[in-house]
A and B are shown apart, each in its own frame.
Chain A
Amino acid sequence: MKILNILTKIDRRIIFLLIFFGVAFPLLVTINFKLGVTKNVRKVYNMIEETPENSTVVISYDYGPSTKPEIQPMAIALLNHAFRKKLRVICVALWPMGVQMCNEALETALQYFPDLKYGKDYVNMGYKAGGMVTINHMAKNFRSTFPTDEGGTPIDEFPILNGINNFNKIAFIIGLSAGDPGIKQWVQVAHDSYGKPVAGGSTAVQVPFLMPYVNEQQQLTGLIGGLKGAAEYEKLINLPGFATKGMDAQSIAHLIIIMFIVIGNIGFFASKKQKN
């Protein structure tokens, strides 16, 4: 019964410490747990794969530094895939810090594509406040929504934006989001109002709320969820990065948490039985 008492009274700091070391260890020593690819992530991959070369696409950076570890790996992987397929990428941001996130992702992705030119193959339009109103306005008049890029250069100077007046010549939109405004608004306006294919990449916390949009009507074509989704995407494009490395740590941490949930439950039921 002494063990029972210990099990029900484990100091939470011991759990924190174990998780800390459980996460740190796999970062130091590679384990390489097996990772499968889920249907929703493959759908995003297929969408890019099936888009004709030289098509123009929009990637929206609707997150900030607080969720960077989760979303930045998928942003880099998606840019790599889009550039590999010779797609032209227009970056926008519904979150102020999304601009910085976009620049960092571009910097990393462009290491593999040094020949790509700013303004011709990709452009960063910067941040625009307004959420769903901005998306709606973008769909009606892209040029007046973003008269300049993030550096203040008029958009007429960028060949990538020739003929882009609304969403008509945009092949698809990918929203990378950590909250509101984000994927939900892109679905509501860009897909449901203007019929544009929309895919998403989100934090794990958001996945249960966004999953219903991945349906037969393809409100969301596909969804990359959290670090695991990013790791799956890295596997699909055969470019292991931060997410792949992080999944070992993620798995160990989950094992530790599951172990403590089981221990806690054993302690709880045993003490209940003892009382009875």
Chain B
Amino acid sequence: MIYIMERIGVWVGAILTFAILSFLYKDNPFYKIAEQIFIGISAGYWFIYTIYNILIPNLFTPVLTDFSNNRLLLLPAFLGFLMLCRLLPKIDWVSRYPISFVMGTTAGMSLILFLRSDIIKQTSETMMNPFSAPDLAATIGQLILIIGTLTGIIYFFFSKKHEGVFGTTARVGIYFLMVSFGAAFGYTIMARISLLIGRLNFLLGDWLGIIKP
């Protein structure tokens, strides 16, 4: 019985895969059906997942089993309840309080973390003596890092017109940016092809059994 259910699952997966891939030819009803099924199942799945994996273990169970030690949990529960007021037009303004709470705490935490990890540490990483590097390749690499960082930042300085020496430096910055866009594009292709490999591995392995999945 389990085997039959597994095979049905694999066939459904294969049919839906082809339905989605058919969009590459042109938009069609099979693609639309698969898309709607995906959206519907995702919404249903997340709804149930949130109840069983977030609300029950993190709120209901602690509060119901040990109320005195977990009564503080009622505060976030109340804020969560206020968020639901968005569904009632007359009192939807109430939902702004939990939203502002989330925004405030996230901004406060992120500010310190980003300042330290992404600004101070990253900036100090470019403050180096490239000529003290162990070999020529490392020296060249560190010089490129310093020049790329400086020219890239100069490109994003818009309070002065990009002309003369300043304009030339900004133009060098554009070349560094282009290289980074190219690298990002290459990595994106690699990622998307990996997903296609995963799907084909499923079709040729799990579905058709031609290769070992």
Contacts and interface: CB of A to CB of B under 8 A. Distances in A.
B137 to A, nearest CB: 12
Nearest to B212: A245
Interface residues of B, number: 38
A96 B54 CA distance: 9
A24 B200 contact: yes
A29 B207 CA distance: 18
Contact of A250 (B124, B184, B193, B201): B193
A13 B53 contact: no
- Highest count of chain B CB atoms <10 Å: which of A19, A70, A187: A70
Contact of B180 (A24, A96, A208, A219): A208
Contact of A69 (B184, B195, B204): B195
A242 B49 contact: no
B197 A246 contact: yes
Contacts of B128: 216
Contact of A205 (B57, B109, B121, B188): B188
B114 interface: yes
- Highest count of chain A CB atoms <10 Å: which of B54, B116, B191: B191
A226 B198 contact: no
Given A96-B53, A192-B116, A249 B193 contact: yes
A122 interface: no
Interface in A207-221: 207-208, 212-213, 215-217, 219
Contacts of B190: 204, 226-228, 250, 254
Contacts of B201: 27, 69, 242, 246
Interface residues on A, range: 35 or more
B125 interface: yes
Given A28-B211, A129-B54, A192-B113, A226 B197 contact: no
Contact of A216 (B117, B125, B211): B125
A203 B200 CA distance: 19
A173 B113 CA distance: 18
Contacts of A5: none
Given A27-B211, A127-B53, A226-B187, A217 B121 contact: yes
Contacts of A187: 117
Contact of B113 (A24, A193, A228): A193
Interface in B185-213: 187-191, 193-201, 204, 210-211
B182 to A, nearest CB: 10
Nearest to A136: B109
Contacts of A13: 24-25
12 contacts: A68-B198, A69-B195, A69-B197, A70-B191, A192-B116, A193-B113, A205-B191, A216-B128, A226-B190, A246-B197, A249-B197, A253-B193
Interface of B: 24-25, 49, 53-54, 57-58, 109-110, 113-114, 116-117, 121-122, 124-125, 128, 180, 183-184, 187-191, 193-201, 204, 210-211
Q: Which 3 A-B pairs have the closest CB atoms?
A: A69-B198, A204-B191, A188-B113
Given A152-B57, A193-B116, A246-B197, 19 more contacts: A13-B24, A23-B193, A23-B197, A23-B200, A27-B211, A28-B211, A69-B194, A69-B197, A69-B199, A70-B198, A204-B194, A205-B187, A208-B187, A216-B125, A217-B121, A249-B193, A249-B200, A253-B193, A254-B190
